[in-house]
Amino acid sequence: MSHAAKHGGQASATSAPHAAIDADTFTRSALFVIVLLSVWISFHPFSDLSAPPPSNTQGGDIANQIGFSLIFLALAAWASLNEPGRLKLLLRPVLLATLAWCALSVITSWAPSSAARHLAFTLVVMSISAMTLLLPKNLRHFADLLAIVALIVIALCYLGVFLVPKLAVHQATDFLEPEHAGEWRGVFDHKNEAGANMVLFIFIGLFVARVRSLALGCLIVVLASIFLAFSQSKTAVGVLPIAVMVPALIGRTRRPALASALVLAGLALFNLFSVGTVVFGPVHDLVHAIMSDASFTGRTDIWQFGIEAVMQRPITGYGFDTFFGTDQVVYGMAGNASWANTAADAHNAYLNLALTIGLPGMALAVAWAVVLPIVDYCRQANEPHTNALQKLFLRVCVYGAYASCFESSIFQQVSSVWFFFLTAIFGLRYLARTRVAV
């Protein structure tokens, strides 16, 4: 995190709160809060879902492009004055190989200009995530900033529900998915996104409770849990307990091979009983026997369509982030599917990766985003003062990996879940290579 973190210096745990906030601390704090509020609240909060969604345009979202470009430039300027060499710790071979494969998929894409633009913006977001982790001066500062941001976002979500419910609660007049009427979404565009972020806030609350304030942490957990319940996000509610139990098991073993095998086994089971239902008849029959909706709210149609498309271009895929929503799919493949060709994404990050960067690219991405963070965690010393931070990042990584079996959160350009997933991936890498000041 800070200069002290790199060299293992110990910051005072008692004098910091009483000291005046200096310019450096203010700058770090302001940048951190601006970044996370921009990600979590977005540049389009409280959107009106009764209007038709904007069509896919070649120019992309101008507000996001301008906003995150300015944030990137501000962070780059700050990082250039604060040991930018520390960012090199994140440039591991698997990440470089993954990005190289993504670049290859751009060249072979059926829409290379769009794929190149999407990859460039994704790199900007990844860089922002990496630099944001350098901003906190120590562990307590990091906990304070996370608590502030979490409470602001949660408060806005509740204010939206009670003051402008039309813009914060799904309505029967929603242009898409009116069946979600009454389910809370807050500042987010969808109740599933709201639910996923409430899970992240629960993890943050548990972290704050251990590091900074038990009362403050419990408040965040309670508020986020209530909102999660009213969002009725099945994925978030179902994956949350697993994302707590699996890290607990990993914490007991701390053996990289065993921990990685445990996480990958869970990932394989999640995918088998989701996407696998359209491939294996017995699995479909079993899921149908135990679930009232074996279609996973219509996802099986999309998965069937996506698998068939992967088989046509299994190596390079169709180009980085250039499949769903493109004219080639919406219009060119209309005769090969019912409605799945009009879906926004695959509702499964791993299928989405196979579609866009091919099966080799998907394997590289899984190695970097799922396996190596577990290895990084297991290689860290089990020190009491950093255990809470390690557990926070591990829980986020496990949740992100498993929830991605039902949502497309990996390499999603502007997604609050993906951004904090990235933060956890990079955070575990930093912790494995540096020491953190208290």
Q: Do you know the residue count of the chain?
A: 438
CA distance 201 to 195: 10
- The H-or-E segment that residue 358 falls in is helix 349-366
Q: What is the pLDDT of residues 18-59, one digit of tens each?
A: 445 789 999 999 999 999 999 999 888 998 888 777 654 455
3-state secondary structure of 339: coil
Angle of helix 416-433 relative to helix 384-403, nearest 10 degrees, comes to 140
Claim: this prediction has a pTM higher than 0.75: yes
User: Which residues are within 8 A (CB) of 424 and not within 5 positions of it... i.e. 6 or more apart?
Assistant: 373, 392, 393, 394, 396, 397, 400
CA distance 220 to 216: 6
Longest dimension (CA), the chain: 68
3-state secondary structure of 320: coil
Q: What is the DSSP string of 92-158?
A: -HHHHHHHHHHHHHHHT-SSHHHHHHHHHHHHHHHHHHHHHTTS-SSHHHHHHHHHHHHHHHHHHHH
Per-residue pLDDT of the chain (438 residues; tens, 9 = 90+): 654 344 333 333 344 444 457 899 999 999 999 999 999 998 889 988 887 776 544 556 788 889 999 999 999 999 999 878 888 889 999 999 999 999 999 999 988 998 999 999 999 999 999 999 999 999 999 999 999 999 999 999 999 999 999 999 999 998 878 888 999 999 999 999 999 999 999 999 999 999 999 999 999 999 999 999 999 999 999 999 999 999 999 988 889 999 999 999 999 999 998 889 888 888 888 888 887 766 677 788 888 888 989 999 999 999 998 888 777 877 767 655 566 777 778 889 999 999 999 999 999 999 999 999 999 999 887 777 889 999 999 999 999 999 999 887 788 777 899 999 999 999 999 998 887 666
Q: What is the pLDDT of residues 135-172, one digit of tens each?
A: 999 999 999 999 999 999 999 999 999 999 999 999 99
